[in-house]
Chains A and B, each alone.
Chain A
């Protein structure tokens, strides 16, 4: 049976067009550099290649010191959020052919978090605000049987369950850039995921946390987060729903 499949294959595989992409990467080595510097790389890439493939090719063939995070490389783990041509994107979900190849492609680390090396930032502040909204199920009943939920109740918070914590939204938020005190979109999205979960009993706790000076009220609805989200979460809408929930609650 496998032979039949092989025989039906065209003998010559379809040619994938190649092109030269010029990547200008913002490098920073804390042991050498005082300031980040821009470095240009030319790589020959194919039409099915992503920015992450170009970064790999540079690291493997040109400069092994290039440092970046990636894990699954398929848009699930959220490790490789970077700033491509000034927009926060996942390197593993951005095809090179979708970018303007006649110009250099600028690659830099996401903004608003402390830069550690090249494309790697310190994610601790991001995860601190994530932890601060208590992103876990709070239920008083013991987990002895399944907690039932209707499809409509599940659909209420479906959008915010998609978050992969890549920080593309939070690091695109101009309010987060200012002093880093703002919870940031990602934390509010993950609070939203439990606030509107019918099985959860801690929504008032989270609404109290977000009804803070640095909570949801600092959102200026610039929609940068919605534009940046690689999972297509309607982040600004989720924040607005949390605002409405705070107004509707007793707080």
Chain B
């Protein structure tokens, strides 16, 4: 008589495929990092090197840029990607170094609040910026303004 002994271990119950924040955070850091290299160096080149260089930057230069949809989208991407990238990086540092759970929570909430505030403020400025405020000296305004 032979007895058959089945494998005693029951297989590990597979976890429900919940969204894994750490994994997506890790992927986000890589993906946004690649895009940010292009966005940041493009931003630096246009602002500091192209044309007359750094001397071109004044209210008119910024106003002129933010009145074009291309630069509005560029700056929005730069703002969102860089702030989320930076605050997620800070979050990992906080998680690595803040051993007290209360301190860790306070720092992470402060990080989240400041990132959300800065993103919303920045986005508001990009899309509601008026390059031609009424009653300003004409020589300071960008060339696209009617009242210049």
Contacts and interface: CB of A to CB of B under 8 A. Distances in A.
Given A208-B15, A215-B22, A217-B22, A247 B96 contact: no
Interface string B85-108: 000000010011101000000000
B99 A179 contact: yes
A197 B97 CA distance: 35
Given A208-B14, A208-B15, A251-B17, A178 B26 contact: no
B23 interface: yes
Nearest to A243: B26
A178 B99 CA distance: 7
Interface extent on A, as a size class? 20 to 34
Given A178-B99, A179-B99, A211-B20, A247 B12 contact: no
Interface in B4-21: 7, 11-12, 14-15, 17, 20-21
Interface in B93-137: 95-97, 99
Contacts of B140: none
A67 to B, nearest CB: 28
Given A205-B11, A211-B23, A247-B27, A178 B96 contact: yes
B11 A251 contact: no
A9 interface: no
Q: Is the interface of A mostly helix, strand, loop or mixed?
A: helix
A164 B12 CA distance: 27
Contacts of B21: 213
Interface string B41-76: 000000000000000000000000000000000000
Contacts of A243: 26
B108 to A, nearest CB: 13
A247 B28 CA distance: 12
A246 interface: yes
Nearest to B29: A217
Given A205-B11, A208-B14, A251-B17, A178 B97 contact: yes
A54 to B, nearest CB: 35
A130 B121 CA distance: 47
Nearest to A142: B7
B12 A217 contact: no
Interface in A203-221: 204-205, 208, 211-213, 215, 217-218, 220
A174 B20 contact: no
Interface string A112-136: 0000000000000000000000100
Interface of A: 134, 140, 174-175, 178-179, 204-205, 208, 211-213, 215, 217-218, 220, 243, 246-247, 250-251
Interface of B: 7, 11-12, 14-15, 17, 20-23, 25-27, 92, 95-97, 99
Given A215-B22, A243-B26, 9 more contacts: A178-B97, A179-B99, A208-B12, A208-B15, A213-B21, A217-B22, A218-B22, A218-B96, A251-B17
